[in-house]
């Protein structure tokens, strides 16, 4: 019974390690081949670095952003990503829409912030609409995977674990085979006597 449980446990570990290796390889391949942010189902995956939208969107979450097509069409309660300053993107909720000589402007506010953002967002600065898709804390892993050390680590560790596990499985199998052969040899010697 214990040997059967050990075999099932061993096979389960083997499957989990293979799945992790395949997922890691896909993530690394996607990061290396995509220009800019990785995409899934037409949504760009972006990392949220602040807690301004908590509890809905936690710090370190990966969110799906649908790139803006018509930047003038967003409405109150839409969550948008916009460029606050060169290279700085913010994801906040629209609380008011108005227009002036500059065009459409969005007043935004982080759900966790007490006050609305000081400056309204020009429609031309909107990057895209948050699709509602978000995975908490996955952003930390994505940032790690994008670093050189992370890339090497994510490829090597699952591979090494898989090799170690396969080696152990092979060793156990060889031991069992030798034990069976010894038992057959002992059985045939006793039958000959």
pLDDT digits (tens, 9 = 90+) for 89-137: 898 999 999 998 888 999 999 989 999 999 999 998 999 898 888 878 7
pLDDT of residue 26: 66
CB 49 within 8 A of CB 59: yes
Task: Name the catalytic one among 10, 37, 50, 131.
Answer: 50
CB 126 within 8 A of CB 82: yes
Q: Is the peptide bond before 117 cis (omega within 30 degrees of 0)?
A: no
In whole angstroms, what separates CA 162 from the centre of its chain? 21
pLDDT of residue 193: 60
Average per-residue pLDDT in the chain?
80
What is the pLDDT confidence band of residue 23, given thresholds at 50, 70 and 90?
low
What are the structural domain ranges in the chain?
32-146
Q: Is 190 a catalytic residue?
A: no
In b/e form, how buried is each residue of 70-95, taking b as 16+ CB within 10 angstroms? Answer: ebeebeeeebbbbeeeeeebbbbbbe
pLDDT digits (tens, 9 = 90+) for 36-61: 666 677 788 788 888 888 888 888 88
Report the range out of 10-24, 59-73, 153-167 with the highest average pLDDT.
59-73
Closest CA to 35 of 67, 61, 68: 67
Which residue do the tokens 């560790």 mark? 157
Q: Is 32-146 a CATH 3.30.70.890 domain?
A: no
């Amino acid at each position: 019974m214990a040997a059967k449980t050990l075999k099932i446990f061993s096979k389960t570990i083997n499957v989990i390690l293979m799945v992790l290796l395949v997922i890691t390889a896909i993530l690394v391949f996607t990061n290396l081949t995509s220009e800019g942010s990785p995409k899934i189902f037409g949504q760009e995956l972006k990392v949220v670095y602040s807690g301004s939208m908590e509890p809905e969107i936690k710090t370190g979450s990966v969110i799906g952003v649908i790139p803006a097509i018509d930047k003038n069409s967003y409405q109150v309660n839409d969550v948008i990503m916009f460029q606050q300053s060169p290279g700085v993107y913010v994801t906040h909720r629209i609380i008011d829409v108005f227009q002036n000589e500059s065009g459409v402007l969005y007043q935004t506010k982080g759900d966790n912030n007490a006050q609305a953002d000081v400056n309204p967002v020009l429609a031309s600065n909107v990057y895209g609409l948050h699709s509602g898709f978000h995975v908490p804390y996955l952003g930390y892993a994505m940032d790690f995977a994008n670093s050189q050390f992370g890339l090497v680590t994510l490829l090597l560790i699952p591979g090494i674990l898989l090799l170690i596990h396969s080696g152990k499985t092979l060793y156990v199998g060889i031991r069992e085979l030798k034990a069976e052969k010894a038992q057959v040899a002992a059985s045939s010697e006793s039958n000959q006597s």
